Amino acid sequence: MLAPLTHLALHCRRKGTGLGAFNVIHLENAESIVEAAERLDVPVVLQISENAVKFHGGRLAPLARGVLALAEQSSSRACVHLDHAKDTGLIREAIGLGFTSIMYDGSHLPDEQNRAETARVAGWCLDAGVSLEAELGEVGGKDGVHAPGARTDPDDAARFVAETGVDLLAVAVGSSHAMTERTAQLDLDLIGRLAETVPVPLVLHGSSGVSDESMVAAIRAGMTKINVSTHLNHVFTRTVRQVLDEHPEMVDSRKWAGPGYRAMTDEVARLLELYSTAG
Ligand code: G3H
Ligand code: ZN
């Protein structure tokens, strides 16, 4: 069933477990994520990013309606989340479609403007009963707050939450987006200090670059929502490539999409088990 992100994240934070949040590019990804969550009987987040919407020619509704239907029909509690949204028009559209969570990404804006815009979006989300995730302004590097060297200051983070009213906060603790090797070095001491100082659940972006051992340690230190995209894309594409290499005569897309779907489902289930037993 469809669930608000705050409920799922607060539940996981109380238990000291991680909440898996996986990106959906095409509908098969959402089917994998829902099937894996049901297999484990755990809550899950299905996220559609602004970039994924661009891939679909700027159209959010067709994919979103399918993902929302899968979440509604699921026996697991599932949140449908708009990820890394900079476009406030898209945020309005997602709220109208029935998304249960939004990430407003104002990290590219000057700090003061990010705070003001985030607080404005928080007002819309509050009125609509939708959860809001956000992040502090750009700290450095082309990957902004998700550059490996970027760090979130705990007191600044607590001030940001108090000023804006966000429900979850994405923090910079050593991960970086789109890594294809799982070699990121997380600052566990900082995660612990952030978890003590910041009153809302913490979000780790760029989790594809984090090893299983580091992720368990990060969840134990206080990380809650774990965002994974690139790693699952890798699993899906690697499987499809192998099937097509072995069967160059194949034309029926179900024959290669099926193995990709099953490989991604198994990996999401493996990650969900890791996160939900880490505490
Ligand atoms: O918002 C989505 C994530 O931060 C995914 O990052 O592709 O590096 O796993 P990733
Ligand atoms: Zn991200």
Quick check: 141 pLDDT over 50?
no
Q: Give yes or no for residue 140 having a pLDDT over 70.
A: no
**CA dist., res. 8 & res. 24, Å (int):** 19
Phi and psi of 20, rounded to 5°? -70, 130
E strand segments, 77-194: 78-85, 101-104, 131-135, 168-170
Q: What's the pLDDT score for residue 115?
A: 95
Q: Among 209, 192, 227, which residue's Cα sits nearest to residue 45? A: 227
Instruction: Please give the DSSP secondary-structure letter assigned to residue 181.
Output: S
Q: Does 154 have pLDDT greater than 60?
A: yes
Atom of ligand 1 nearest to the CA of 49: 1
- Distance (Å) from CA 250 to ligand 2 centroid: 35
**Residue 139 pLDDT exceeds 60:** no
Model pLDDT, residue 238? 98
Report the sign of the C-alpha dihedral through residues 40, 104, 208, 156, in that order: negative
Ligand 2 center–CA 228 separation, angstroms: 8
Residue with tokens 């990380």: 223
Beta bridge partners of 132: 102
Amino acid letter, residue 38:
E
Q: How confident is the model at residue 142 (pLDDT cuts 50, 70, 90)?
A: very low
The predicted pLDDT at position 143 comes to 62
| Topology, domain 5-276 | TIM Barrel (3.20.20)
226-276 pLDDT per residue, tens: 999 999 999 999 999 999 999 999 999 999 999 999 999 999 999 999 999
pTM for the full predicted model: 0.96
Q: What pLDDT does 145 receive? A: 64
* Per-residue pLDDT tens digits for 56-99: 999 999 999 999 999 999 999 999 999 999 999 999 999 999 99
The residue from 83, 105, 167, 187 that is catalytic is 83
Query: What is the predicted pLDDT for the residue at 144?
Result: 62
Residue 167 annotated to the active site: no
